Structure 1
Amino acid sequence: MALRLSVSGVFLDSIPRSIGSSLWAISLPVPSLLSDLWDSVLRAAPKKKTSHMKRRHRQLAGKALKDVHGLSKCPACGQIKRSHVLCPHCVKAHPVDIFSLAVTDTQILSASGASSIKVHSTTDTDFRLVQSIDNAHKVGCHHLVTGANGSRAVSAGFAGDLKAWSCEDGYWFADNATSANLAGADAWAVSLSLDGRYLAGVTQNGHIKVWDLGANGALIRDHETKGSFGTCIDLSADGRFIASGHENGAVYIFSAETGRMPFSLSGLVKPVRTLAFSPGGRILAAAGDSKVIVLYDTASGEQIANLSGHSAWILSLSWSHTGEYLLSGSFDGKVKVWSIDTKTCVATHSETEKAVWSVKWLPKIGRTEGFATAGANRSVAFYREATGG
C-alpha cells in the first residue's frame, strides 16, 4: 500500500516531484514526538527552592499574609477590637484623615481634616480619650507639634492660621494672646523646641521663620531660601540647627545661633515631605516622593546612607529616644522600623492599604519603647515594642 503525505491539504503525489521533494523536506523537522519529549524535559528541569531565610525576609518586608491576632474586648462597649488600636465603636477618633500626631510624656494629640483636636492618655493600656478640643480649626488641621515637657502645643490649619495651646494638669486650652501675634504668619509646617519656647515655621514662599513664644510670639528670625514651597521643618534637640525641606527637593540647614546656612544638601530631586533630626542632632533624615530615606551628617553635610524599601511617597519620619531606630510611614500604607546601626529595615507593618500620614514614638515605659501611627484609615494604632510586636 502506498503512503500518501499531504502539506496544508495538498497530496504530494498530485504535484511535480521536484516541488514535492522540497515540501517533504520542510515537513520532516517537526515530528509530533519531539513536542512531547520537549514538554517532559521542561517538567524535569530543577526548580529553585525558596530558603527559610528568604521566606523570613519576605515576612518582615510585609509580603506574607498574616492572621489577625491580639484581639480583645473594649472595656467601654464590649465590642471586639484590636488590642493596640482605639475602639472604633465608641471612640470615633476622627471622621476624616488624620494628618498629624504630637506626643507628650503622658498624652498623644491627633489632628485631622475635621475641626477638632483629640487628646488621648498614654499612661494606660486603653489609651482613653481624655479631651476633645472642639472647633480648633474650622477647616481642619494639617500640622500639630508639642514641646517635650507637654506644656505647649501649636497647630497649623488649612486656612493658613497658626494657633497656640497651653496645658495645665493635663487639660489643654487656647493661648489667645500668642495666637494673635502669630496671625498672618502663613507657615505651612511648624516645629517646637524641646522646652516649648521657640517655634520654627516654613512658609509657602520658602521663608524659614522663628518666633519666641516666651515673648508672646515675637518674630526673631526670618531666613530666605530660593523661594520653593516649604513642606516640612524640624529643630534639633540641642537647639543648634533648623532644617527645612521643599517642594523642589532642596534641603537646607541653618544655624540657630548665627542665622547662617552652613549647608544646602543634595540627593533628593523630588519634593521632600518629611525630615527629622536624630536625638543627638548628629544625623538628619529626609524623605519624600523619591521613596528613599536619605541620612545626612550634620557636621559635614555629607550624605551617609540611603534607606530603600517603600513603594510610594514617604510622609512621616520619627526617631526613637535613643536614636537606635528610625520610624517611617508611607503613602503605600506601610510603616517600617529601620536600624540605624545596620542601615536595614527590621520590621514592616501593613495593616492598612491607605496612606499613613503620621508616625510617632511614644514615651518609653520601663524597657519598652512603642510607637503610634495614623492616617487615611481615620484611626490611631499603637505598638508597644521597638520592632513592632
Structure 2
Amino acid sequence: MKLAGLKSVENAHEESVWAATWVPATDTRPSLLLTGSLDETVKLWKSDELDLERTNTGHCLGVVSVAAHPSGFIAASASLDSFVRVFEVDSNSTIATLEAPPSEVWQMRFNPEGTMLAVAGGGSASIKLWDTNTWKLAATLSIPRPEGPKPTDKTASKKFVLSVAWSIDGRRLACGSMDGTISVFDVARAKFLHHLEGHFMPVRSLVYSPVEPRLLFSASDDAHVHMYDAEGKTLIGAMSGHSSWVLSVDASPDGAAVATGSSDRTVRLWDLNMRTAVQTMTNHSDQVWGVAFRPPGGVGVRSGRLASVSDDKSISLYDYS
C-alpha cells in the first residue's frame, strides 16, 4: 500500500482548514470533497481535480466540523457560532438549523443508515442524537463521571467531548474526551457500555473499521494511534511515529490501513498488519487537522483517494493504492 501526491490547492480557504469529509457519489454526480474553515465557509471540491464547485456561507464564526449523509444528498456543518447547519449538497438550500449552546459541538457524524446525526457535545459531556427525518433531538447519551470522590470543576471539564464515531453496523457509538478516555454506547438502548483506556491526553479523532464492527482506531495528543477491540475492551495495538499531537485518523475503505494527520505537519499511512507507519507525507507546512479517505462508488471511479487539510489553508489529494 502506498500514497502518491496528486494535487495540492494552496489558499483553498482564507483561514485554517479544520474539517474535511467526502460526500458520497449519487446517480447524477461523482463524490465531492467537503471542507470547513475558520473563515466561516464550507466549500465543495471536485473529486479528482480539486476544482472548486461551490462556496457555502451561512455561519458567522469558524466551521469546526463537517459531515456527509450516506445518501450523498445532504450534509451538515458545525460552527463556533453554536449552530449546526444541515443543507442540500447540490442546491445549498438549508434543510434544518440545529441549536447547540456555546462549545457544544466539536465533531459530528451521520450513522451508516442515515437516520441519525450524532453530535459530540463538547462541554455538556454528552452526545446528542438528532433524528434526520424530523430534525428533532432523539436522545442524549451522557458520559458517566468516573467513580470516586466528587469531581471538581477541573476534572469535570476534562470530560469535554471532542470526537465521535459509528460502528459500521450502526449498533455502537464511541466518543473521545479531553481526559483521554473513550466511551462506548449501545445506541438502540441508549446505554453506556464501558470506557476504553490507554490514552492519557485528549482523543481528537476516532474511526471504526469499515470491515470489522468491533475494531476502533483513535488519535490522541499523546502522539499515539490506538487500535481497540471496542467490544472486548482490549487495546490491540499502540502505534507511534508522530512527533506531536495526532489530530485526525481515518480508515481506508479496504480496512487494511489508516491515515493520520498531526500537528507535526505530516500525514502518515499505517499498515494494520505490520502495525507501523509505512509512509510519511510532508505536503503541509502547518498542523494537519483532517484526513479523509474517499468512499468507494460512483461511475468510473477506480482508484482510492485520500485528502488532507491543514492550518496552512491548503488541501492535498493523494492516490491510495
Q: Residues of 2 paired with 1:116 and 1:287: CA distance?
A: 26
- Kindly state the Cα deviation for residue 357 of structure 1 after the two structures are TM-superposed: 0.5
Normalising to structure 1: TM-score of the pair?
0.72
Task: Look up the SS of the partner of 2:163 in the other structure.
Answer: strand
The aligned residue for residue 28 of structure 2 is: none
- Kindly state the Cα deviation for residue 366 of structure 1 after the two structures are TM-superposed: 5.0
CA-to-aligned-CA distance 1:179-216 (integer Å, 9 cap, x gap):
1xx22463332111134320112221311221112122
Task: Look up the SS of the partner of 1:336 in the other structure.
Answer: strand
Q: CA RMSD in A?
A: 1.9
Task: Look up the SS of the partner of 1:214 in the other structure.
Answer: coil
Structure label with greater radius of gyration: 1
Alignment partner of 1:188 out of 101, 106, 126: 106
2:81 is the counterpart of 1:159? yes
The aligned residue for residue 194 of structure 2 is: 263
Answer yes or no: is the 8 Å Cα contact 2:126–2:140 preserved in 1.
Answer: no
2:69 is the counterpart of 1:150? no
List runs of 5+ in structure 1 lacking aligned partners: 1-59, 61-69, 71-81
The aligned residue for residue 103 of structure 1 is: 22
Q: Which residue identity lines up with residue 287 of structure 1 in the other structure?
A: A
The aligned residue for residue 51 of structure 2 is: 128
Task: Within 5 Å, give how 1:335-374 maps onto structure 2.
Answer: 335-364=267-296, 366-374=301-309
- Kindly state the Cα deviation for residue 287 of structure 1 after the two structures are TM-superposed: 1.8
Task: Within 5 Å, give how 1:6-21 maps onto structure 2.
Answer: none
Q: Greater strand percent: which structure?
A: 2
Q: Which residue identity lines up with residue 112 of structure 1 in the other structure?
A: S
Q: Residues of 1 paired with 2:6 and 2:119: CA distance?
A: 37
- Kindly state the Cα deviation for residue 149 of structure 1 after the two structures are TM-superposed: 2.0
Q: How many residues align?
A: 294
- Kindly state the Cα deviation for residue 339 of structure 1 after the two structures are TM-superposed: 1.0
Answer yes or no: is the 8 Å Cα contact 1:223–1:259 preserved in 2.
Answer: no
The aligned residue for residue 150 of structure 2 is: none
Alignment partner of 1:310 out of 235, 238, 242: 242
Q: Residues of 1 paired with 2:221 and 2:269: CA distance?
A: 19
Q: Residues of 2 paired with 1:322 and 1:97: CA distance?
A: 30
Q: Which residue identity lines up with residue 286 of structure 1 in the other structure?
A: S
Answer yes or no: is the 8 Å Cα contact 2:34–2:42 preserved in 1.
Answer: yes
Task: Look up the SS of the partner of 1:245 in the other structure.
Answer: strand
Q: Residues of 1 paired with 2:7 and 2:195: CA distance?
A: 41
2:216 is the counterpart of 1:284? yes
Q: Which residue identity lines up with residue 117 of structure 1 in the other structure?
A: V
Task: Look up the SS of the partner of 2:99 in the other structure.
Answer: coil
Q: Residues of 2 paired with 1:349 and 1:382: CA distance?
A: 11
- Kindly state the Cα deviation for residue 324 of structure 1 after the two structures are TM-superposed: 0.8
Task: Look up the SS of the partner of 2:14 in the other structure.
Answer: coil
The aligned residue for residue 249 of structure 1 is: 180
Alignment partner of 1:174 out of 94, 103, 107: 94
* Higher relative contact order, structure no. (Cα contacts within 8 Å, ≥ 6 residues apart): 2
| Identity between Structure 1 and Structure 2 (%) | 24
Q: Which residue identity lines up with residue 190 of structure 1 in the other structure?
A: M
- Kindly state the Cα deviation for residue 83 of structure 1 after the two structures are TM-superposed: 4.9
Q: Against the structure 1 CA distance between its residues 224 and 107, is the aligned structure 2 distance closer, same or farther, given a 3 Å change threshold?
A: same
2:157 is the counterpart of 1:239? no
Q: Residues of 1 paired with 2:231 and 2:196: CA distance?
A: 12
Answer yes or no: is the 8 Å Cα contact 2:113–2:170 preserved in 1.
Answer: no
The aligned residue for residue 151 of structure 2 is: none
The aligned residue for residue 43 of structure 2 is: 118
CA-to-aligned-CA distance 1:56-76 (integer Å, 9 cap, x gap):
xxxx9xxxxxxxxx9xxxxxx
Task: Look up the SS of the partner of 1:370 in the other structure.
Answer: strand
The aligned residue for residue 216 of structure 1 is: 135
Q: Which runs of 4+ in 1 moved over 3 A?
A: 363-367
List runs of 5+ in structure 2 lacking aligned partners: 25-30, 146-155
Task: Within 5 Å, give how 1:313-324 maps onto structure 2.
Answer: 313-324=245-256
Q: Against the structure 1 CA distance between its residues 224 and 299, is the aligned structure 2 distance closer, same or farther, given a 3 Å change threshold?
A: closer
Q: Residues of 1 paired with 2:215 and 2:193: CA distance?
A: 15
CA-to-aligned-CA distance 1:210-239 (integer Å, 9 cap, x gap):
111212233334333324111111112211
Q: Which residue identity lines up with residue 240 of structure 1 in the other structure?
A: R
Q: Which residue identity lines up with residue 339 of structure 1 in the other structure?
A: D
Answer yes or no: is the 8 Å Cα contact 1:152–1:196 preserved in 2.
Answer: no
Answer yes or no: is the 8 Å Cα contact 2:284–2:310 preserved in 1.
Answer: no
Answer yes or no: is the 8 Å Cα contact 2:23–2:75 preserved in 1.
Answer: no
Q: Residues of 2 paired with 1:164 and 1:272: CA distance?
A: 26
Answer yes or no: is the 8 Å Cα contact 1:160–1:188 preserved in 2.
Answer: no
Normalising to structure 2: TM-score of the pair?
0.86
Answer yes or no: is the 8 Å Cα contact 1:190–1:232 preserved in 2.
Answer: yes
Q: Residues of 2 paired with 1:224 and 1:366: CA distance?
A: 41
Q: Which residue identity lines up with residue 172 of structure 1 in the other structure?
A: N
The aligned residue for residue 265 of structure 2 is: 333
Q: Residues of 2 paired with 1:312 and 1:320: CA distance?
A: 23
Task: Look up the SS of the partner of 2:12 in the other structure.
Answer: coil
Alignment partner of 2:205 out of 249, 254, 274: 274
Answer yes or no: is the 8 Å Cα contact 1:114–1:138 preserved in 2.
Answer: no
